[in-house]
Amino acid sequence: MVFRIDMIKKIKSYLLLSILVLFLCACRKIGTYENQRFNIIVIIVDQLSAEVMSNSGCSWVKTPAMDQLASEGVKFTNAYTSFPLCSPARASFLTGQHPFKSFDKVTEYKSLGSIMKDQGYQTEYIGKWHVGNTRIVKNKEVLEWSGFDNYQNGNDQFLEDQTIKFLKGDRKTPFFLIASFMNPHDCCELARKIGGWKVRNTFEKGSCTPVLSVPKDADIPYPNTLEDSYPLPEVMVNQKPLSGENYVSIRPTGSWSSKDWITYRYGYSQLVECVDARIGNILKTLKEQQLDDNTVVVFTSDHGDGIGEHGWNQKLAFYDEIIRVPFLIKAPNGIKGKVCEGLVNVGIDLLPTVMSFADIEHKSYPGESLKFTTTNLDKTTTRDYLVSELDLSLQGLGTSRVPEGEDLDRLLKYESAKARMITNGRYKYIVYNMGKNPEMLFDLQSDPHETRNVINEDSYTDELNVLKLKLQEHLLKVGDDFQMDNPTAS
């Protein structure tokens, strides 16, 4: 009898010890560290419009990975870029500052990677950089400033492979990882390919070559409108492409037929689906490695693309297809499938959001943390108005050839043009600092495709005055020296 009791005690002790070992192993695998902090992954794609996801109701693209994040987390439907161009937007991502402050002086502000590293996080950055005017490859000073333990540069296939390799590795501390994909940015090369350019029309960076022959059964809708609303700011008239190769606008779409625009959209959809598949493999690895339950996943894009609306591809304008971007957050213990319509400035809100998930104080930054919108069903963002910036002097020409004649004249005339956009979600006001007809006003509720510039309609005077006042208040508050008064306007 005594022998039997001793055996039972030994068996119980063995079972308890085995359970404890399994528990400790599992804790280490899922990243449940001593301080119980979350792992955080920020997935950035390049040039993706918020509407070109199947979870946004887009019928001509399939994005199961993005849809998964939306269904398992919170989707922000009114998220806007701080600047519709890669480098300025990404400068905001890593500094939390408005682009007019951070683009030229990005290293004067503390990097998000450095903030996280100081808090004991393992920090990793894989993929496209383009942060302000900095270069990180073979640049020790920028790498040190960035705060990332490791930076790896490569095409999208390389990024996918290295991200999965990183997630499968062992670690003793929580990690902060930025996975920065190129696609669907290769739509720029796609347009040049369709437009007959002989240079800069390959797709190696995104590791996905789209098929240009549109199948007969492909249901690719034609753009809602190829026309700009009248009156169009003179600066935007200057940006519109000429026929043939146009050095200034880098958009060789001036003589495109309806077939060309359908081909462009079909190619764009393939680039989106390609990068979505890569994201899906990363999400699958998170689950397989048992990291899913303790990892925050943030998904966004630096800016969108014209996708043919108003005859526009590329960026550098304030149409919603260009400035409204996807923003999804999947958080442990967060609400699943929530849709938040509050205004989000992705550029300045990303940094405080990441800091908040890491329990780091962020009140000194101009942006807003979105952490608590992921756990509170009724909570929305607190921002009533949102401002986005534009400075055409920061654009590239897209070609090594020197512009000539009319192209050169246009470039020199408006190369320093700046603009600001303010929206409250219903109305959008845009103003340029030079040229004729510098203002635009849209009622996004009655005119979601922005076909009607109501700037001169008396019935919108009150809304216009409110937006102008709010923009002026914003400029004064943040120290932006943009001048709203335009002596050359008519």
131 and 94 Cβ atoms separated by less than 8 Å? yes
DSSP β-bridge partners for residue 78? 343
- In a domain, residue 483? The reply is no
Tokens (6 digits) for 193: 């390919």
Model pTM score: 0.90
**Can you give the pLDDT at residue 199?**
73
What separation in angstroms does the CA of 287 have from each of 27, 87, 339? 14, 32, 24
Find all residues with CB under 8 Å of 88, minimum gap 6, and list them: 82, 99, 102, 103, 132, 389, 391, 394
Query: Where is pLDDT greater, at 123 or 135?
Result: 123
- In a domain, residue 443? The reply is no
- Expressed in percent and rounded to 5, the helix, strand and coil fractions of the chain are 40, 15, 45
The sign of the CA dihedral 34, 36, 37, 42 is positive
3-state secondary structure of 257: coil
**Can you give the pLDDT at residue 400?**
53
Cα–Cα distance between 115 and 119 in angstroms, integer? 7
Tokens (6 digits) for 230: 């009248």
Highest mean pLDDT among 30-34, 250-254, 300-304: 300-304
Average confidence score pLDDT of the chain? 89
Q: Which residue has the tokens 């019935």?
A: 459
For 320-339, what is each residue's pLDDT tens digit?
999 999 999 999 999 999 99
Phi then psi for 228, rounded to 5 degrees?
A: -80, 155
Q: What is the CATH number for 107? A: 3.40.720.10
Q: Which amino acid is at 147?
A: G
For 237-249, what is each residue's pLDDT tens digit?
888 765 545 444 5
3-state secondary structure of 338: strand
Cα–Cα distance between 358 and 210 in angstroms, integer? 39
Q: What is the mean pLDDT of residues 121-143?
A: 94
40 and 354 Cβ atoms separated by less than 8 Å? yes
What separation in angstroms does the CA of 407 have from each of 67, 142, 413, 463? 42, 36, 10, 37
Tell which phi-psi region holds residue 398, choosing left (phi > 0), alpha (psi between -120 and 50) or beta. left
Cα–Cα distance between 331 and 311 in angstroms, integer? 38
What's the farthest any 2 CA atoms get from each other in the chain? 105
Q: How many CB atoms are closer than 10 A to CB 214? A: 15
- In a domain, residue 448? The reply is no
Residue in 75, 32, 65 with CA at minimum distance from that of residue 293? 32
Cα–Cα distance between 462 and 241 in angstroms, integer? 35
Give the H or E element holding residue 74.
strand 74-80
For 386-401, what is each residue's pLDDT tens digit?
999 999 988 765 555 5
248 and 407 Cβ atoms separated by less than 8 Å? yes
**Can you give the pLDDT at residue 474?**
97
Q: What is the mean pLDDT of residues 293-317?
A: 95
Cα–Cα distance between 153 and 322 in angstroms, integer? 26
231 and 280 Cβ atoms separated by less than 8 Å? no
Query: Which runs of consecutive H residues, i.e. helices, occur in 83-233?
Result: 86-95, 99-102, 112-118, 140-146, 156-168, 187-194
- In a domain, residue 460? The reply is no
For 398-441, what is each residue's pLDDT tens digit?
555 556 676 667 667 788 899 999 999 999 999 999 999 999 99
Tokens (6 digits) for 445: 């509720």
Cα–Cα distance between 184 and 303 in angstroms, integer? 11
DSSP β-bridge partners for residue 345? 80
Q: Which amino acid is at 217?
A: D
Phi then psi for 153, rounded to 5 degrees?
A: -110, 140
Number of domains in the chain: 1
- In a domain, residue 20? The reply is no
- In a domain, residue 304? The reply is yes
For 442-477, what is each residue's pLDDT tens digit?
999 999 999 999 999 999 999 999 999 999 999 999
**Can you give the pLDDT at residue 486?**
60
- In a domain, residue 82? The reply is yes
The angle formed by the CA atoms of residues 277, 280 and 285, to the nearest 5 degrees, is 135
* DSSP 8-state code for residue 62: -
383 and 423 Cβ atoms separated by less than 8 Å? no
- In a domain, residue 159? The reply is yes
Domain residues for 157?
36-187+262-383
3-state secondary structure of 164: helix
DSSP β-bridge partners for residue 76? 340
Highest mean pLDDT among 19-23, 29-33, 448-452, 485-489: 448-452
In terms of residues, how long is the chain? 490
- pLDDT over 70 at 55, yes or no: yes
Cα–Cα distance between 442 and 452 in angstroms, integer? 7
Q: What is the mean pLDDT of residues 33-57?
A: 90
